[in-house]
Structures are given as C-alpha cells and as structure tokens.
Amino acid sequence: MKLKLAFFAFIVFCGTSFGQSNSKFRVVLDPGHGGKDYGAIYHGFIEKNIALNVALKVGKILEKDPSIDVLYTRKTDVFIELNERANIANNATANIFVSVHCNGATNQTAYGTETFVMGMTRNASNLEVAKKENAVVELEADYKLKYKGYDPKNPESVIGVGILQERFNNQSIELASKIENGISSNLDRKSRGVKSAGFLVLRNISMPRVLVELGFISNKNEGTFLNSEAGQDKLAAQIAAAIQSYKKEYFVADGNDHRDPVPAQVEKPKADPIQTPPAATQPVKGVQFKVQIAASGKDLETVPSNFNGLSGISKDKSTSLIKYYYGDTNDYNQAKSLLEQAKAKGYPSAFVVAFRDGKKITVQEALEGR
C-alpha cells in the first residue's frame, strides 16, 4: 500500500522544477487532426476543419498581446503526427499546450464541452473519447514501433509508455477549469467538466497541457453552432480569455510558471527589496489561503498516511478531478510557510491558492483586498 501511495504521489506532484524561463508567455495551439485524418464526421460537420478554424481564431486574439508568443502545430489542412506535435511544443519551450477537438458519439443527443488533462480514468465515456482521439496513430507509418507498448484498443496503455504521466497535473487542471468555466458561464453552454484520460498527443509534452472538446458534432444542434462563424468566434474568445487569465495568475517573465504574488504596496522611500511587504504580514480579513498539493481522479481519505505525513488535508470534489489542499489560514506568511512544508514532504508542484466566501480568487486579488 505504501509503495502504491508513493507512486501516486510521484506521478501527481512532480514537475514544476522543469518550468520554462521565457521573457514572453509562449502558447502552442494544436488544431486536432488534419489532412488525411478527418477526425469525427457527422451531419456534414468535419472535426479537423472546426478545430483548425477555432485554433486560428484563438491565436489571432492572443497575438494582439505583445507579451504572448503563439505557435501552431498546423495552420493549414495538413497531417501532423502526434509525436511531432509534442516536439513542436517541447522545442519551443512553451508554457502551455492547448489541443482543440470536437466530440462525437453514437448517442446523438449528447452535448456539451469538456476539457481533458493527462491521467488515469476508469470512466467509460472518458476512455471512449481517448480511444477515438488516439486512433489517428493507425494512420502513421510504423506506429507500432514509434508507440511501442501502446494498444489502440486500450487508451490507458498510454500511461505505461508515457514518460511524463501526470506531471504538470495541478497546472493543467487550473487551465482546464478556466476554459470550462468561461464557456459555461459566459456562453451559457453545458460544461461536462474537467476530466482525465490517456491521450497520446499529451503524453510527452513537458508543460501544462490540455485537450479541449468543443462540443458534439454528432448532435445536430450543437454541430450547427460549432460549424458556424459566430459559434467559433464565441468559443475562441472564451478559450483565449482563459489562457490570458492563466497567464496573469501564474506566469512570471524569465521565472517559474507559478508566481509568488507580491501584495500592493503604499509608496515609501527606498524600501528594502528583501523586506516582506507590510500587507503580507497581516491576516487578510475574509480570505482563506490554502496550499494545493494535488489534483487527481483518486478519492483518498484525508489522513496523514495518504499524504506523506501531512495533516490538515481538505479536498474539493466539485469536479471529476479532486483537488487536495493542505492547511487553512488567513495569514499569507503562514500560507507560504505551509507551502514550504508541503514541498519538503515531497510535493514540489504545490502552490498557494486563495478563497473569499468559498469562491476561488487569485492570491494577488486576496492581498490587494479586491
């Protein structure tokens, strides 16, 4: 049991030490499928075309921000192998990877968006989505050699051959949540939630990465929306806004992806830059700081033996992936101390999060009293 828990801790929590150090926030947009790989086809709607159109629209919005670099795995209707998509992202030392797709199902009443992160799942529908998206490897030459150990009939076998597995899981879930929340809240469209499954396109990518299923083109009504210029514009705007929000909250130029926010300060002459700002030394009224140490599909008891001896663990089960938190304080300095304790216990990708009235806010907003 201890070995199993140690393995769980390893795959979920390692990763931020591999963070990038770019002066600009670098985004790789990956329109799914392309060329001879059409993806899903229903009612005359073609996945590869919708995915390309939406990804290009997302990129066009982001390119207006001079602090963001946008790269694409494809900008035209060409076939790109899954490994090459990962190579493009890794060679660019990008900060995030967003793969854009459309869903399809035998049950043509199914509808709604869902955003996936890399991970294990026993959920049948999640496995089916991964199986369909991974089927593209059979169009690649010598795929049995390139993806040795992967069984197209068993999507979870990708975990066995992937070297990264659930690395960057915390960050990926934060990005995925922003995408889902934006689409469901601002477009009033159904969100099927943030989910995990084994996707070959995500397996070797060394950065936070998500796969967005924009909706079901097998559902004629939703497919009509996804295939329309207006629908694609609306979805692209929300995905771009989610990426910008993630950048604002976590990216520091020439630093680590997860920022340690500095509270707003009152101007004073020649303040010692090493000195802790006064606003951070006082408890913040109405705010809770916690340390997010994990996000996983596994529902663990919040006992110290399951978390390398850490006590005071709480969890958020509001999505299909459970978030685990260590500690609870309204003092930001205390939260930073808790963060160091978590990292010392073997959770290097942990980071501080903030809540006001039960609603998650950025740490910067908490410290500025917004």
Domain at 278-368: CATH code: 3.30.70.1070
Better-scored residue on pLDDT, 309 or 19: 309
The segment(s) of the chain belonging to CATH 3.30.70.1070 are: 278-368
pLDDT given at position 278: 39
**298-339 pLDDT, tens per residue?**
788 898 888 888 999 999 887 667 889 999 998 999 999 999
275: alpha, beta or left? (left if phi > 0; alpha if psi -120 to 50)? beta
What average pLDDT does the chain have? 80
Find all residues with CB under 8 Å of 147, minimum gap 6, and list them: 137, 161, 200
For the stretch 104-122, pLDDT in tens is: 999 999 999 999 988 765 5
Q: For residue 155, what pLDDT is reported?
A: 56
Q: Provide the b/e sequence for 234-260 (b: ≥16 CB within 10 Å).
A: bbbbbbbbbbbbbbebbbeeeeebbbe
Stretch(es) of the chain classified as CATH 3.40.630.40: 16-250
CATH T-level topology, domain 16-250: Aminopeptidase (3.40.630)
Residue 23 confidence (pLDDT): 85
Please state the rounded mean pLDDT for residues 144-162. 56
Higher pLDDT, 369 or 313: 313
Whether the pTM exceeds 0.85: the reply is no
More confident residue, 280 or 92: 92
Range of weakest confidence among 64-68, 89-93, 105-109, 320-324: 320-324
Other beta carbons within 10 angstroms of residue 154's beta carbon come to: 14
Identify the top-confidence range among 3-7, 8-12, 36-40, 205-209. 36-40
3-state secondary structure 257-304: CCCCCCCCCCCCCCCCCCCCCHHHHCCCCCEEEEEEEEEECCCCCCCH
